[in-house]
Chain A
């Protein structure tokens, strides 16, 4: 068996910290950030029955963060009586979006074709946004399951992007930027986003300039949103483990720097 190196001990430590805190099964009390409140108010402000497009612009690798975010939003939107049109601008988001919309819709007794629909995927992101701006039906002649566009009552009410109250992009990369730069700029559509934590700082300038109406990021954002809408979820369950893992990383940084500065001082004296 190979001898364990220092990195293996660091790996083991992380695994122990996370597993131990998850086994505790304890949910700490959260402060709600202004971003989560802003998104919540925005969804609340839309009149009941508004048609919102939700775009699953992510890969399967981001599922642990994306799923709690997406479910929290879908549940909130359905509870407010909004109608949802799902699309995916990344291939893997298609299967995820299809499943999550069905799952959330079933919890609120929503009917397919009347309260929600899932149109599927189109490969070229910018082309898809530009063509939806002119005609959603010609971009998606059939939905993911093969139903003709006009056969679904809800879809007969929307012809192009400007007929939609808002687009909510659920993204793990910079696809929400394309919604802002092509969808909002050309067709004046309101854009909001749920993003993975790693993308939060990338979208801050768009939030600041008002191009992104609201943004919630990461598992912490999902937990805050779940708390706001009064449900439990994977976000809230993960908060203790997440806090513990952060403190573990901070401890490693501290230890690493102490060792570094101590050896530098010894070299200086020697």
Chain B
């Protein structure tokens, strides 16, 4: 009985039901429709997503314990696991607001490191500019020229040159660049639309996994 309920067919039906429901609810302002939207989004969607996050955290622990048992970077993985476990303990013990240790760890350990990891990219961009950014062809030269104009326009200060650079770069951004981005957006929109419809109708089934 359990296997029938959890079968691929039933899962597809559930997917289709929720898909059609959310699609139709978009168009209705009826109080019942609004109540159903609220129920589906807050009680089902959000709650299941929160459980999915817990699944992710547990998977992280399992992967690290397995690697530690194989002596792969064991001390470092222990540090990671300690960090992960420490945060809920700090939150439970001292809360998550005001001058709590939880926020202190975020502000003095997590945020500085996270922004520094991204700051490393500045150096890699500089290195790539020296070693890789070549005007090998006409399209590459166009790319390079657009980038040069953009960078120069944001590097000059109050002057006639600055005005000219800014007008040029703004025109490039607001017209030809925007047009290309718009076409990409339309393309992505068409792709997302067809994928969504395929998921609802049941043509796209890769998310179901193997077996029955």
**Which residues of A are interface residues toward B (Cβ below 8 A)?**
6-7, 10-11, 13-15, 28-31, 33-34, 59-64, 92, 95-96, 98-99, 122-124, 127-128, 130-131, 133-135, 138-139, 144-146, 186, 200-202, 204-205, 208, 220, 239, 242-250, 252-253, 255-257, 260
**Segment of B35-43, B76-84, B201-209 engaged in the interface with chain A:** B35-43
User: B118 to chain A: closest CB distance in Å?
Assistant: 4
- Given the known inter-chain contacts A6-B131, A249-B125, please indicate yes or no for A123 contacting B50, CB distance below 8 A: yes
Residue pairs across A and B with Cβ atoms less than 8 A apart, 26 shown, are A7-B130, A15-B123, A29-B158, A31-B158, A31-B162, A61-B117, A92-B106, A92-B111, A99-B103, A124-B46, A127-B45, A127-B46, A133-B37, A139-B42, A201-B178, A205-B178, A208-B182, A242-B155, A245-B122, A246-B152, A247-B155, A248-B126, A252-B129, A253-B147, A255-B130, A257-B133
Q: Closest A-chain residue to B169, C-beta based?
A: A33
Bound together, the chains give a CA A130 to CA B174 distance in angstroms of 31
**Which residues of B are interface residues toward A (Cβ below 8 A)?**
26, 34-35, 37-38, 41-42, 45-46, 49-50, 53, 96-97, 103, 106-107, 110-111, 114-115, 117-119, 122-123, 125-127, 129-136, 144, 147-148, 151-152, 154-158, 162-163, 166, 170, 173-174, 177-178, 181-182, 185
Contact at A95–B42, with CB atoms within 8 Å?
Answer: no
Bound together, the chains give a CA A138 to CA B41 distance in angstroms of 10
> Which residues of A have CB within 8 Å of B37?
130-131, 133-134
Q: Closest B-chain residue to A146, C-beta based?
A: B97
Main secondary structure of the interface of B (DSSP, over half): helix
Contact at A242–B154, with CB atoms within 8 Å?
Answer: yes
Contact at A208–B174, with CB atoms within 8 Å?
Answer: yes
Bound together, the chains give a CA A185 to CA B126 distance in angstroms of 41
Bound together, the chains give a CA A202 to CA B182 distance in angstroms of 9
Contact at A10–B181, with CB atoms within 8 Å?
Answer: no
Bound together, the chains give a CA A245 to CA B125 distance in angstroms of 11
> Which residues of B have CB within 8 Å of A98?
97, 103
Contact at B118–A253, with CB atoms within 8 Å?
Answer: no
Q: Closest A-chain residue to B98, C-beta based?
A: A145
Bound together, the chains give a CA A31 to CA B53 distance in angstroms of 45
Bound together, the chains give a CA A144 to CA B97 distance in angstroms of 8
> Which residues of B have CB within 8 Å of A124?
41, 45-46, 49
Bound together, the chains give a CA A205 to CA B123 distance in angstroms of 30
- Given the known inter-chain contacts A6-B130, A253-B133, please indicate yes or no for A131 contacting B185, CB distance below 8 A: no
Contact at A249–B129, with CB atoms within 8 Å?
Answer: yes
- Checking A128, A186, A244, A250 against B152 with a beta-carbon cut-off of 8 angstroms, the contacting residue is A250
Q: Which of B45, B53, B163 has the most CB of A within 10 A?
A: B45
User: B2 to chain A: closest CB distance in Å?
Assistant: 27
- Checking B35, B129, B163 against A253 with a beta-carbon cut-off of 8 angstroms, the contacting residue is B129
Bound together, the chains give a CA A131 to CA B46 distance in angstroms of 10
- Checking B41, B123, B156, B173 against A201 with a beta-carbon cut-off of 8 angstroms, the contacting residue is B173
User: A120 to chain B: closest CB distance in Å?
Assistant: 9
Contact at A249–B126, with CB atoms within 8 Å?
Answer: yes
- Given the known inter-chain contacts A34-B170, A243-B156, please indicate yes or no for A128 contacting B181, CB distance below 8 A: no
